[in-house]
Chain A
Amino acid sequence: AQSVSQHNHHVILSEAASLELGCNYSYGGTVNLFWYVQYPGQHLQLLLKYFSGDPLVKGIKGFEAEFIKSKFSFNLRKPSVQWSDTAEYFCAVKENTGKLIFGQGTTLQVKP
């Protein structure tokens, strides 16, 4: 069965620190890749997505992610985090059936 693995379950950073959240998936076929963010008390929001083309994709709020097909990875990065980035981050993989498979999530806590 296809699966998505997020390596970091809980990350604590100080403001201005750099962020990298790991995501690996197991599906070998064509996939679309997503990062969703869930701020405290809010619904899941799309942060960025990769469908095809340039493997380095830029999203909202200064986030970016790199798709490395050979490593089945889609890691999320941000050069300098802010307190407002405190949230839960989910990596997800979508097959052509439309089924979204989510990772377990990473809780990011940014200390002011």
Chain B
Amino acid sequence: ETGVTQSPTHLIKTRGQQVTLRCSSQSGHNTVSWYQQALGQGPQFIFQYYREEENGRGNFPPRFSGLQFPNYSSELNVNALELDDSALYLCASSLDAGWETQYFGPGTRLLVL
């Protein structure tokens, strides 16, 4: 166990809807990163938050947004869902941004119909 939890475990939405996924980092970890893992692929970096500020972003459109809270929890929000957003969404926490090892949660599997 990594001490990183995510909710919900599974979610079904329809195209055009909005979704919020939640992550609880290890206590003391100032950095959370979010990844999208499509079936049969490696995780793709969405963005990273460090001390509640966005600290880097991958090739994802602005309809993917996030929040990080002082209590080591964070959210990933996706607006205007598309079928291709169906994937496993992973959060990973680390002590600090930069070189620190990231510890992954179990993921939320999102299905968009």
Which residues of A line the B interface, CB within 8 A? 4, 32, 34, 36, 42-46, 49, 51, 90, 92, 94, 96-105
Contacts and interface: CB of A to CB of B under 8 A. Distances in A.
Nearest to A43: B106
Contacts, number: 65
B94 interface: yes
* SS of A interface (majority): strand
Interface residues of B, number: 29
B104 A44 contact: yes
A4 B55 CA distance: 22
Contacts of B2: 43, 45
Interface string B34-64: 0100001111110010100001101000000
A51 B99 contact: yes
Interface in B88-107: 90, 92, 94, 97-107
Contacts of A94: 99, 102
Contacts of A104: 40-42
B101 A46 contact: yes
B107 A43 contact: yes
B90 A98 contact: no
Contacts of A32: 99
